[in-house]
Amino acid sequence: MEVDRVQAIASLSKQIDTIPLEFIRSENEQPAITTLHGVVLEVPVIDLSDSDEEKLVELIAGASKKWGIFQVVNHGIPDEAISKLIEVGKEFFELPKEEKEIIAKTPESGIEGYGTSLQKEIDGKKGWVDHLFHRIWPPSAINYKYWPKNPPSYRKANEEYAEKLRDVSDKLFKYLSIGVGLEGHEMKAASGGDDLIYMMKINYYPPCPRPDLALGVVAHTDMSSLTILVPNEVQGLQVFRDGYWYDVKYIPNALIIHIGDQIEILSNGKYKAVLHRTTVNKEKTRMSWPVFLEPPPEHEVGPISKLVNEENPSKYKSKKFKDYVYCKLNKLPQ
């Protein structure tokens, strides 16, 4: 099936200085109108190497309750591993179209593969972005069919990043558990334990002649438990707070952590999934590498029973993660 990639549309649009109508957002979404300019949101920055664990718990739990997003520095992932990940992903997206289409999504491949959101949003609009999805952990969940073969170092770079990311992920789950009075292992266990799936996504946002009118990824909360994101140097992530959209100030080599829907549910609403979206840039290509830490499809997620009592009745239904995803993607009530 022939699909129009945003990358191809972008190179055509460049010559005519305009964009197809389906990318032009309604006025209540256009970034030029809806962004609070002149303020850059400084989301909490947390030093993960701090030996004072109590302090870390307090900072992480505080940020997750109030913001649903924070950045971590001194996270233990070498800069080299991050720059490698960025380099090989960029190389893949710069390959000729035919080479990328080899690993294109098909109706059978599910979420994995190279793609463009085919499903238009409710108002028929599209995001200015192409993507690639593939699982990177655990080994039993990996399907190398959807990993680029080119550049040849793609696999090694992603495996090394996944390996390092596991320590960060385990730490975050531990501090989030303790932060709501649970034992260290409970939040991860409730997200699937060692079967927790690490889903890599690469977002590729080509330059856009009208960044004032288009969006990359439309406003959403992530379906994951947690999302750990690395961006390239081009700003574009925005967070919704107090009725406005704000640009998030990115700190080089930090990891951006999003609280996703599943942690909000597990914590019975104590932690908040962050509402976010992305803008695009007139001259530069923006890219980002979120890894979604997700429960396995059959794993049931609901508020952790220790967090439910008379004063805090259960706010969410318990359901299998795959059913949650189905409802969310089809815009059905949960």
Q: Is 112 in the site for Ni ion (CB under 5 A)?
A: no
Q: Is 264 in the site for Ni ion (CB under 5 A)?
A: no
Residue 210 has a CB neighbour count (10 Å cut-off) of 18
In angstroms, what is the minimal distance from the CB of 268 to ligand OGA? 24
CA distance 334 to 332: 6
* Between 14 and 201, CB nearer to Ni ion: 201
For the question of residue 194 being annotated catalytic, the response is: no
**Best CA proximity match to 334, nearest among 285, 251, 264, 229:** 264
Residue 201 β-bridge partners: 133
Contact 165, 228 (CB under 8 A): yes
For the question of residue 220 being annotated catalytic, the response is: yes
The number of angstroms, rounded, from the C-alpha of 297 to the middle of its chain's C-alpha atoms is 18
Q: Measure the CA angle with vertex 241, ends 26 and 275; round to 5°.
A: 65
* Between 117 and 314, CB nearer to Ni ion: 117
278 binds, among ligand OGA, Ni ion, none (CB under 5 to 8 A by kind): ligand OGA
Residue whose beta carbon is closest to ligand OGA: 288
CA distance 289 to 292: 10
Q: Is 186 in the site for Ni ion (CB under 5 A)?
A: no
Q: Is 158 in the site for ligand OGA (CB under 6 A)?
A: no
How is residue 156 written in tokens? 């090694």
Q: Is 278 in the site for ligand OGA (CB under 6 A)?
A: yes
CA distance 70 to 64: 8
- Residue 331 burial by Cβ neighbours in a 10 Å radius (0-12, 13-18, 19+): exposed
Considering only residues 29, 130, 186, 222, which one is a binding residue for ligand OGA as defined by CB under 6 A?
Answer: 222
* Between 222 and 247, CB nearer to Ni ion: 222
Considering only residues 115, 192, 290, 295, which one is a binding residue for ligand OGA as defined by CB under 6 A?
Answer: 290
Q: Is 29 in the site for Ni ion (CB under 5 A)?
A: no
Which one from 66, 125, 164, 201 is the annotated catalytic residue? 201
Q: What letter represents residue 215's amino acid?
A: L
For the question of residue 258 being annotated catalytic, the response is: no
Pick out residues in 195-224 that bind Ni ion (CB under 5 A).
222
CA distance 62 to 58: 6
Taking CB under 6 A as the binding criterion, the range among 61-69, 88-96, 104-112, 229-237 that sits at the site for ligand OGA is: 229-237
In angstroms, what is the minimal distance from the CB of 219 to Ni ion? 10
Contact 116, 88 (CB under 8 A): no
Q: Is 261 in the site for Ni ion (CB under 5 A)?
A: no
For the question of residue 164 being annotated catalytic, the response is: no
CA distance 229 to 240: 18
CA distance 58 to 121: 38
288 binds, among Ni ion, ligand OGA, none (CB under 5 to 8 A by kind): ligand OGA
In angstroms, what is the minimal distance from the CB of 258 to Ni ion? 6
Residues that bind Ni ion (CB under 5 A): 222
Site residues (CB under 6 A) for ligand OGA?
201, 203, 217, 222, 229, 231, 237, 276, 278, 288, 290
